[in-house]
Amino acid sequence: MKDKVLILGGRGRIGGSVARDIATHTQAEIIVTGRTPYQQIDNDSIQYLALDLADTEKLRQAIASAHLVIHCAGPFDYRSTDVLQFCIQQGVNYIDVCDQRSYISKALKYDQQAVDAGVTAIISTGVFPGISNSMARQCIEKFDTAETLHLSYVVAGSGGAGVTVMRTTFLGLQNSFTAWIDGKWQLIEPYTVRENITFPAPYGQCGVYWYDVPETFTLPLVFPNLKSVITKFGSVPDIYNRLTWITANIFPKSWIRNPQGIEFLSYISHLMTDITDKFSGIGIAMRVEVTGIKDGQQGIYSSNLVHENTAIAAGCGTGSVAQLILEGKLKKPGVAPVEASLTTDLFGQTMESRGITLQQEWH
């Protein structure tokens, strides 16, 4: 009997990338869901199920029939933890692509329940968060004592993702957030303190700004000896950085705290990237840099990743975790972020099998 994987929100750009990755690397039976009636899917190993997450009875039934549930139906800022709770209640393993701190905080409260139920629930898989977290773990493990972690991301245009990702970006500008700096939680304003970071070709030097990604919150919890965790994000072309900075720092906050305002900005941005994607591409570059002590000496170790399609990279991150769970290689009951669950060896193996190369070096 084949394993059955249920992907909620599987008709979106990210969910679709996850489905294709799992279809490529496993023999699982895959069911993707969406709110609209039947849709044709150009892959014989992927089936479609019309499902509104508000229909809790149908949702429960769908989860009960699966071996693994993958939650890709964002933005997670709006989501309850119902899917996770149903999985725990029915003994079904769970993965999500959550990129919102508010949801993570709620999900982590179910850790002991998942342990008791023997359910492995891994949150915030994907590319960032996801692959980035595992890159951070890999770098941290190079040191006897890791002190400062600096993560920088830049996405070209739309990243090959849908309007949901645009919504998530603007949601991240609504409020100040806390970051772990010099051994304490400090309040940070989003899209401030620009840095110019040099990424591998074809990106080169790009501007990045403070941004509230889940890694800001989860990495200090998983690696409490870190003194600082800095997370910064930027866009290509740079004009999008300037426009986002204006939105975050000049516009009245009421504009981006209004759901209609978020929708307007998201659709306008998506229309703009439809044009600029032709020139900028839709790729991603990530740089993780750790400063710490190794053999009594202070050093810096960095890891860089470049991928031509951000959405596909996200599919690789989540798909690789799904593959390991289905193969029985990743079994850790509880609710935890990916950097607390996935070993560096397994991470390296799955990235290599997907043709993803990390550029790593000591400085």
* 361 domain residue, yes or no: no
How far does CA 185 lie from the centroid of its chain? Answer: 22
Do 84 and 192 have their domain in common?
no
Do 122 and 148 have their domain in common?
no
Do 96 and 138 have their domain in common?
no
Domain that holds residue 229: 128-310
* pLDDT score, position 166: 81
Report which of 128, 184, 166 is spatially closest to residue 270, judged by C-alpha positions.
Answer: 166
Q: What is the CATH number of the domain that holds 157?
A: 3.30.360.10
* pLDDT score, position 253: 83
* 296 domain residue, yes or no: yes
* 27 domain residue, yes or no: yes
Do 188 and 121 have their domain in common?
no
Average pLDDT, the chain: 94
Q: How far apart are CA 339 and CA 134, in angstroms?
A: 5
Do 22 and 143 have their domain in common?
no
- Is the per-residue pLDDT at 316 higher than 90? yes
Mean pLDDT calculated for residue range 60-69: 97
CA separation, residue 279 to residues 24, 156, 162, 283 (Å): 29, 9, 18, 11
Enter the pTM of the model: 0.94
CA separation, residue 362 to residues 31, 142, 302, 357, 359 (Å): 44, 10, 7, 17, 11
pLDDT in tens, 119-145: 999 999 999 999 999 999 999 999 999
| Matching residue, tokens 């409490």 | 224
pLDDT in tens, 335-347: 999 999 999 999 9
* pLDDT score, position 39: 62
pLDDT in tens, 164-202: 778 878 888 988 999 999 999 999 999 999 999 999 999
Domain count, the chain: 2
Give the number of other Cβ atoms within 10 Å of residue 112's Cβ. 11
Q: How far apart are CA 350 and CA 108, in angstroms?
A: 26
* pLDDT score, position 169: 84
Do 245 and 206 have their domain in common?
yes
* 73 domain residue, yes or no: yes
Contacts of residue 114, Cβ cutoff 8 Å, sequence gap at least 6: 88, 94, 120, 121, 333, 334, 335
Mean pLDDT calculated for residue range 9-31: 94
Give the number of other Cβ atoms within 10 Å of residue 114's Cβ. 24
* 362 domain residue, yes or no: no
pLDDT in tens, 249-270: 998 888 888 888 888 888 898 8
- Is the per-residue pLDDT at 162 higher than 80? no
Q: What is the CATH number of the domain that holds 37?
A: 3.40.50.720
How far does CA 113 lie from the centroid of its chain? Answer: 24
